[in-house]
Chain A
């Protein structure tokens, strides 16, 4: 039913992604789909990477490692944004479209009062993406 599962990933929070990653992996196995990791990085140096190229390298390594342990066909797509604090959602939505993803599995935080002002990334993706979206609290 699904051919490409998109997994938006924030490399600085890998430790909090276990549940969502397990679900994405299981679903990809179930549908024999490709699992594609999408990350958004800023143009300026960050704690994760000094440059967008370094970020891309790390994301690709992450995808490769996961492919190795899960036996899935994995890929990675690093998107560069000049204002990631604001444009992350827009960049992710565009990437989902460009990559032709048909299922998105995504870790999201528990809703709080702030969500009335700023929706979480997952909420926005679910509201605007044409793909099916599975949010994991």
Chain B
């Protein structure tokens, strides 16, 4: 079993393809996986890469980084403006697309299509529930929940900038508490707005991509790469340029999304470390953040070399446990009774305000709708090739109904619990201490979003320990993202092969760390983040097409 590669083996002996495990509807295409791959040797390392996709995405990424660094003054503002333009002009489109994704998922869930099993009628799941759920949560939004869990509810509750959900009440006006009725209304509205952004809609976006990829790879026998989803629409043309473009866009969105998150996340983690250990200027120190990126990249490298089972899965499980410990701690030492009382109220508010929040037109809450909702939707969509591909990779053997329940409904409940605990505690602190509370200081008085979680924890007992857990969680979530991200990029740039040489994954992990560090030193992280969010809009169109392909693909499966 050497690593040199020659794929031209004998043709299959029989023309009829056997079914995967049990009945399924295999697509019979002339295309052989890896037929467009080249296998150059760099020194002693052999590669196995898809010809145009690897080269073009590599060159475009390097060129983009150089241009962003060289023309920062022009590129930065231009990309920022582009993002602003897209989220304010096409907010209605993004919000509408989000609603369609939720409806498609719920429709499939309750229809007979839910009985289809990924990988064939008799396939058995590759991963148990705990490991599976831990992985899809870590990939989907782990890091975001750490960053926004306190920030977003606290922000909506007391924003002085007029961007609260639906222009509802706010709880603190000019540093003074509002009247009790307004406080309760503001709290419910803040929680509903937050859960809306972390609930059914983002997970529906992921579910559509993940389910489509899994279906076309495991049931239809097409390569595990984004272009395969569009086979029902483009047919054999998908192996040519239309497919190359889709795959390159997916690599681009994944790599820039990851690199910018890694860079910004390292800044957040270093700010957190500076806050917890009282190191002056740690938050502003570029050196400190670059060292963190190096550590995260080194850990990701170890994780990559341990594979899916020994790396990402273990770390995701570790993180799920740590996150549950942190959650349980906040619930128990925080305002326990208040939080338990609020949970159902928050979920109720989420559902009762859902129609108003997801209405794409005729609203006057521009700050919230464009600045938050449209931004989030574009962000989730630009991440969807990465998260979707990773979820697809670990979901073989589940039925579609099980899949949608576990990728859409359960994460929504978990997000609601997390937001209730973190945001509820933060709002409770703001109600009790108003402008004295650390959360008010970091979210409203001086906007230092990366410290909001640590501010909330600092007012609870054992703050040093819990903040340390918080920092570890942030770092490990980045390690898993970096690892699973390189797994995904490698699979796409290898034309859907999952057994390409490991040196390629190592290359992508290091490349990601380098982009993040370069942009952190040279500036331009925010500009690149704007660029990757901007890919969300064209991708929303692509995903709407994917919905059609998905339903068509599911309907041809035996149930």
Which residues from chain A sit less than 8 Å from chain B, CB to CB?
A: 8-16, 42-48, 50-54, 57-58, 61, 82-88, 106-109, 112-114, 118, 120-122
CA distance A99 to B433 in the complex (A): 67
Chain B 201-235: CB-based contact to A (< 8 A → 1; otherwise 0) = 00000000000000001100111100000000000
What is the distance, in angstroms, from A124's C-beta to the closest C-beta of chain B? 11
Give the residue name and chain of the A residue nearest to B228 (CB).
Answer: A45
Chain B 1-37: CB-based contact to A (< 8 A → 1; otherwise 0) = 1111111011011000111110000100000111100
CA distance A87 to B393 in the complex (A): 15
Q: A43-B119, A107-B1, A121-B1 are in contact. Are A83 and B221 (CB under 8 A)?
A: no
What is the distance, in angstroms, from A43's C-beta to the closest C-beta of chain B? 5
Q: A11-B9, A82-B394, A114-B44 are in contact. Are A45 and B221 (CB under 8 A)?
A: yes
7 A-B pairs with CB atoms under 8 Å apart are A8-B1, A10-B1, A43-B396, A43-B498, A46-B497, A109-B2, A112-B44
Which residues from chain B sit less than 8 Å from chain A, CB to CB?
A: 1-7, 9-10, 12-13, 17-21, 26, 32-35, 43-45, 119-120, 126-127, 217-218, 221-224, 305-310, 393-394, 396, 491, 496-502, 505
Asked whether, in the complex, the Cβ of A113 is within 8 Å of the Cβ of B44, the reply is yes
Listed residue (B44, B306, B394, B505) with the most chain A CB atoms within 10 angstroms of its CB? B44
Asked whether, in the complex, the Cβ of B35 is within 8 Å of the Cβ of A85, the reply is no
Asked whether, in the complex, the Cβ of A47 is within 8 Å of the Cβ of B33, the reply is yes
- From A43, A44, A86, A109, give the contact of B3 (CB < 8 A): A109
Contact partners of B2 in chain A: CB under 8 A: 10, 13, 16, 107-109, 120
Q: A43-B119, A46-B33, A53-B20 are in contact. Are A12 and B498 (CB under 8 A)?
A: no
Contact partners of A108 in chain B: CB under 8 A: 1-2
Q: A12-B6, A85-B505, A86-B502 are in contact. Are A45 and B222 (CB under 8 A)?
A: yes
Contact partners of A53 in chain B: CB under 8 A: 18-21, 120
Contact partners of B10 in chain A: CB under 8 A: 14
What is the distance, in angstroms, from B231's C-beta to the closest C-beta of chain A? 12
CA distance A8 to B126 in the complex (A): 23
What is the distance, in angstroms, from B49's C-beta to the closest C-beta of chain A? 14
Give the residue name and chain of the B residue nearest to A116 (CB).
Answer: B44
Asked whether, in the complex, the Cβ of B496 is within 8 Å of the Cβ of A85, the reply is no
Asked whether, in the complex, the Cβ of B218 is within 8 Å of the Cβ of A43, the reply is yes
8 A-B pairs closest in CB distance: A86-B307, A50-B221, A51-B20, A109-B2, A83-B308, A44-B224, A10-B1, A114-B44
Contact partners of A120 in chain B: CB under 8 A: 2
Asked whether, in the complex, the Cβ of B9 is within 8 Å of the Cβ of A48, the reply is yes
CA distance A50 to B501 in the complex (A): 20
CA distance A31 to B305 in the complex (A): 39
What is the distance, in angstroms, from A49's C-beta to the closest C-beta of chain B? 8
- From A42, A52, A87, A88, give the contact of B309 (CB < 8 A): A87
A85-B499, A87-B307 given; name 15 further pairs at CB < 8 Å: A12-B7, A15-B6, A44-B217, A44-B224, A45-B496, A47-B32, A50-B221, A51-B19, A51-B218, A53-B21, A82-B396, A83-B307, A85-B498, A86-B310, A112-B44
Asked whether, in the complex, the Cβ of B18 is within 8 Å of the Cβ of A88, the reply is no
CA distance A10 to B44 in the complex (A): 21
Asked whether, in the complex, the Cβ of A14 is within 8 Å of the Cβ of B499, the reply is no
Asked whether, in the complex, the Cβ of A86 is within 8 Å of the Cβ of B224, the reply is no
Asked whether, in the complex, the Cβ of B393 is within 8 Å of the Cβ of A109, the reply is no
CA distance A11 to B218 in the complex (A): 20
Listed residue (A11, A53, A106, A122) with the most chain B CB atoms within 10 angstroms of its CB? A53
Listed residue (B34, B310, B499) with the most chain A CB atoms within 10 angstroms of its CB? B499
Give the residue name and chain of the A residue nearest to B487 (CB).
Answer: A83
What is the distance, in angstroms, from A66's C-beta to the closest C-beta of chain B? 14
Listed residue (A85, A108, A118) with the most chain B CB atoms within 10 angstroms of its CB? A85
What is the distance, in angstroms, from A34's C-beta to the closest C-beta of chain B? 21
Contact partners of B499 in chain A: CB under 8 A: 42, 46, 84-85, 88
Asked whether, in the complex, the Cβ of A58 is within 8 Å of the Cβ of B309, the reply is no
Contact partners of A82 in chain B: CB under 8 A: 126-127, 308-309, 393-394, 396
What is the distance, in angstroms, from B38's C-beta to the closest C-beta of chain A? 14
Contact partners of B21 in chain A: CB under 8 A: 51-53
Contact partners of A47 in chain B: CB under 8 A: 7, 9, 32-35, 497
Contact partners of B4 in chain A: CB under 8 A: 13, 109
- From A15, A44, A50, give the contact of B26 (CB < 8 A): A50
Give the residue name and chain of the B residue nearest to A14 (CB).
Answer: B9
Contact partners of A58 in chain B: CB under 8 A: 12-13
